[in-house]
Amino acid sequence: MSRSYSEVKYAGLRLLLCLLLISSIDRPALATDEQGDVVFSPKLQKAYFEIQKLRLPAARELIDDERAINADNPFIAYLDSYADLHYLLIAEDRSRYKIFTQQQDKRLDQVGKLSEKSPYKRLFQADIRLHSAFAKLKFGNEVSGSWEIIKAYRLLEDNRKKFPPFTPTLKSLGLLHVLIGSIPENYTWIAKILGLKGNIAQGIRELREVVKEEPFFRQEAELIDLLLHAYTLQLSPEQQVRIRQWPKEQPDNLLLHFFATTVLMKENRSEEASHFLADAPVGKEYMPFPFLHYLRGEIALQNGDYDESFASYARFLKQYAGFNYIKDSYFKMFMCRWLAGRDQEATDYILKVTQKGSTIIEADQFAERVAKEFSEEKISPRQKVLYKARYATDGGYFQKAWELMKTVSEKTFATTYEKAEFNYRMARILQKSGRMNDCVPFYDRSIALGQTDAGAGGFAASSALQMGYIYQKKADNQKAIMYFKKAMSFKKHEYKNSIDNKARAALTELGQ
pLDDT in tens, 133-186: 999 999 988 889 989 999 999 999 999 999 999 999 999 999 999 878 766 555
- Please give the pLDDT value at position 223: 79
- Please give the pLDDT value at position 385: 96
Which run of H or E residues covers position 166?
A: none
Asked if 301 contacts 338 with a C-beta cutoff of 8 angstroms, the reply is no
**What is the pLDDT averaged over residues 8-23?**
37
Asked if 467 contacts 439 with a C-beta cutoff of 8 angstroms, the reply is no
CA distance 393 to 387: 10
- Please give the pLDDT value at position 454: 85
**What is the pLDDT averaged over residues 250-255?**
94
- Please give the pLDDT value at position 179: 79
Weakest mean pLDDT among 23-27, 31-35, 126-130, 405-409: 23-27
Alpha helices in 214-253 (DSSP H): 218-231, 237-249
What is the 3-state composition of the chain as percent helix, strand, coil, each rounded to the nearest 5?
75, 0, 25
Weakest mean pLDDT among 7-16, 214-223, 258-267: 7-16
Asked if 155 contacts 127 with a C-beta cutoff of 8 angstroms, the reply is no
Provide the CB-side half-sphere exposure for 494 (13 A, CA). 15
pLDDT at 217 over 60: yes
pLDDT band at 236 (very low <50, low <70, confident <90, very high): confident
Burial class of residue 290 (count of CB atoms within 10 Å of its CB; 0-12, 13-18, 19+): middle
CA distances from 337 to 84, 186, 360, 397 (A): 38, 43, 25, 20
| DSSP helix/strand/coil, 397 | coil
pLDDT in tens, 372-383: 999 998 889 999
Asked if 325 contacts 364 with a C-beta cutoff of 8 angstroms, the reply is yes
pLDDT band at 25 (very low <50, low <70, confident <90, very high): very low
pLDDT at 18 over 60: no
- Please give the pLDDT value at position 469: 95
CA distance 273 to 297: 13
Asked if 346 contacts 331 with a C-beta cutoff of 8 angstroms, the reply is no
Asked whether the CA dihedral 82, 85, 87, 93 is positive or negative, the reply is positive
The residues near 209 (Cβ < 8 Å, ≥ 6 apart) are 167, 170, 174
DSSP secondary structure string, 256-305? HHHHHHHHHHHTT-HHHHHHHHHT---STTSPP-THHHHHHHHHHHHTT-
pLDDT in tens, 471-492: 999 999 999 999 999 999 998 8
CA distance 97 to 139: 8
Residue type for position 423: N
For the beta carbon of residue 250, count every other beta carbon within 10 angstroms. Answer: 19
For the beta carbon of residue 366, count every other beta carbon within 10 angstroms. Answer: 17
User: 146, 149, 158: which is closest to 122 by C-alpha?
Assistant: 158
| DSSP helix/strand/coil, 168 | coil
- Please give the pLDDT value at position 356: 94
**What is the pLDDT averaged over residues 12-20?**
38
- Please give the pLDDT value at position 186: 55
User: 400, 363, 365: which is closest to 385 by C-alpha?
Assistant: 400
- Please give the pLDDT value at position 60: 97
Burial class of residue 223 (count of CB atoms within 10 Å of its CB; 0-12, 13-18, 19+): buried
- Residue 311 CA, distance from chain mean position: 25
For the beta carbon of residue 509, count every other beta carbon within 10 angstroms. Answer: 16
pLDDT in tens, 88-102: 999 999 999 999 999
For the beta carbon of residue 94, count every other beta carbon within 10 angstroms. Answer: 12
- Please give the pLDDT value at position 14: 39
pLDDT at 65 over 50: yes
pLDDT at 420 over 60: yes
- Give the chain's end-to-end CA distance (angstroms, integer): 25
Asked if 38 contacts 120 with a C-beta cutoff of 8 angstroms, the reply is yes
Which run of H or E residues covers position 377?
A: none
Asked if 92 contacts 108 with a C-beta cutoff of 8 angstroms, the reply is no
- Please give the pLDDT value at position 185: 59
pLDDT band at 230 (very low <50, low <70, confident <90, very high): confident
- Please give the pLDDT value at position 398: 95
